[in-house]
Amino acid sequence: MRKNRVVPGAGQHDITRMKTHYVTFDTALGFAGLTWNDSGVTRFQLPSATAEATTRNLLRRAPDAAPAAAPPHIAQIVDAAKRYFAGEKIDFSDVTLDLAGQDDLFRTIYAAARRIGYGETTTYGGLAKAIGRSDWEAARDVGQAMAKNPVALIIPCHRVLAAGNKIGGFSAPGGAETKAKMLALEGVQLGPAQPSLGL
């Protein structure tokens, strides 16, 4: 994997001229995929049941991407993702990303989320505090950034929980169930839902 480098925001380079490529691959949880350009990984698609579904999901957000054989640095990321979904402890913090098109706030949130280690969790509010925000809208902003995360797994949005360490939402295929599976792979055990007191 390459040195940790997140390409600065939109307008820093002409993304319209860069070719975007994609690859799909089989993992222990289904077919995953990613897109990349010369600046870095632009999208990671969490596993779906079929390669076709993964390709469709990738192309929905990167319609100009073309299938390609993974060059060595992308092949390393693919291999690391396969090992992750097979249960191996993997650190993706050194993967080079291209987050062009993301606003400054989301890039700041994503940088903070990348510091959440394997097997660790935080809450939307905790992540907001990590970026120096404590206003009432901060946790909502973090939630929106996580829902729009273009490179799930590499930016580990599955490690960000709702208040009270509840699973919260997850916009990937399989929803909260996929989030719970990923957390379980990392040894994070979420308690069962508390029964209602009926009050």
Nearest Cα residue to 2 out of 95, 133, 91, 130 = 95
Tokens in use for 101? 């098109």
Give the separation between CA 132 and CA 134, rounded to whole angstroms.
7
Tokens in use for 100? 């062009």
pLDDT in tens, 9-35: 444 444 446 899 999 999 999 999 999
Which residue type sits at 175? G
Q: Which residues are catalytic?
A: 157
Packing angle, helices 104-113 and 138-147, rounded to 10 = 80
Q: Which residue has the higher pLDDT, 112 or 175?
A: 112
Question: Quick check: 193 pLDDT over 90?
Answer: no
| Neighbouring-strand partners of residue 37 | 40
Q: How many CB atoms lie within 10 A of CB 196?
A: 6
Residue 8: what pLDDT?
40
Query: Does pTM surpass 0.95?
Result: no
Q: Are 111 and 9 in contact (CB under 8 A)?
A: no
Three-state secondary structure along 23-35? EEEEECCEEEEEE
Confidence of residue 136 (pLDDT cuts 50, 70, 90): confident
The alpha carbon dihedral of 69, 73, 74, 78 has a sign of positive
Q: b/e for 131-142, b at 16 or more Cβ within 10 A?
A: bebeeeebbebb
Residue 17: what pLDDT?
60
pLDDT in tens, 57-86: 999 999 999 999 999 999 999 999 999 999
Name the H helices within the chain: 51-61, 72-85, 104-113, 124-130, 138-147, 175-185
Structural domains in the chain plus CATH codes: 6-97 (3.30.160.70), 104-184 (1.10.10.10)
Phi/psi of residue 109, nearest 5 degrees: -65, -45
The structure tokens 């729009």 sit at 148
Q: Are 80 and 41 in contact (CB under 8 A)?
A: no
